[in-house]
Structure 1
């Protein structure tokens, strides 16, 4: 059984099998975008929550105190010193950069523009917090539940996926925004890619390929028969008439 998606593995999918893939990916992408956007707005404006929902958002000063608490007993000395002596000591600058970055991640994931960069940046945020709490007795998946799906969104290239029509993301040329998977040209799936592209794009792609890589139909030609050896009937039209 292949771990690749059915469309990549070349297996046939029944009609409607992917009808909810696009909306599902869009829901996940926009949901994470709202998380980062709301935290960025909280740092920029002092917004304290998403009412009427309970709970709070992490504001400008709150992020500083959380980071200070996370690294105070960190076992990696150079990292602890860098956070305390550089980042926290100059938090006015780093706090503004944090706010701008969170706002960028939120907008990119919600709109789908540069969403691969936004997803990877968000995953880097979560991975850093995971590392900052390395010596703490927290739930083992505390931050992995954030960076794992964010990396997945970047890999599948969720930026062009709308909530209405799922867009297949593969390694076909011309599929800009196909995520990291689009950077991997799968030679064995060229024929599958050509079937999905418009005729004009297929023709332009075929002309750009080296001559040796263009699949030309093989013509069956009759080889010269050796003396005393009859040619097969399917090579000799006259014999089958």
Structure 2
């Protein structure tokens, strides 16, 4: 029966769409030589990111994570803002398309764990939402969620090397 796999695929697509929605205001179009467009992190997000990280760190009860935010993320806020924005694009597109789903879900898991650690002390809603994201990412990794309604099924047939097949 394929109904369970189809349900997981629908969940994968919805979670991917959420990631794409989340990155919508973080990117803008920039141009190489004034001609070739590419997605760049918006100045608005680069300015907002350090303030938000400082808020997450302020009363965070997880000592080691608070230290990480204050001593590593804040001094390099533009780098982490860029990693976050492009990471959300990769996760969103990968999940919606079912492309390299295990790898995409591991990246999404890293993002969701960080979001959860940063915000878990703020409200019960934050705890529950990020726990659902983390659980969803684990399910996508272990079930081969991109093999139904996704491009991973096509890639899996073409990849012969065992060490590449784990990607799909």
Same fold? TM cut 0.5: yes
> What TM-score, normalized to structure 1?
0.51
User: Within 1, Cα distance between the matches of 2:129 and 2:92?
Assistant: 20
Instruction: Check conservation: 1:115, 1:158, Cα contact below 8 A.
Output: yes
- Counterparts in 2 of 1:78 and 1:150: CA distance versus 1, 3 Å: closer
Instruction: Check conservation: 1:159, 1:177, Cα contact below 8 A.
Output: no
Q: Which structure ranks higher in relative contact order (CA pairs < 8 Å, sequence separation ≥ 6)?
A: 2
Q: Which residue is 1:133 aligned to? A: 119
Q: Which residue is 2:129 aligned to? A: 142
- Listed as ranges, the matches of 1:36-185 within 5 Å are 36-45=19-28, 60=45, 61-139=47-125, 140-162=127-149, 176-177=165-166
Instruction: Check conservation: 2:65, 2:117, Cα contact below 8 A.
Output: no
Give 1 or 2: higher helix fraction. 2
Gaps of 5+ in 1: 1-17, 47-58, 167-173, 180-241
> What TM-score, normalized to structure 2?
0.69
Instruction: Check conservation: 1:157, 1:178, Cα contact below 8 A.
Output: no
Q: RMSD in angstroms over aligned alpha carbons?
A: 3.1
Gaps of 5+ in 2: 30-43, 154-161
Instruction: Check conservation: 2:12, 2:140, Cα contact below 8 A.
Output: yes
Which structure would you say has the larger Rg? 1
- The alpha-carbon deviation at position 138 of structure 1 amounts to 2.3
- Counterparts in 2 of 1:105 and 1:137: CA distance versus 1, 3 Å: closer
Give 1 or 2: higher strand fraction. 2
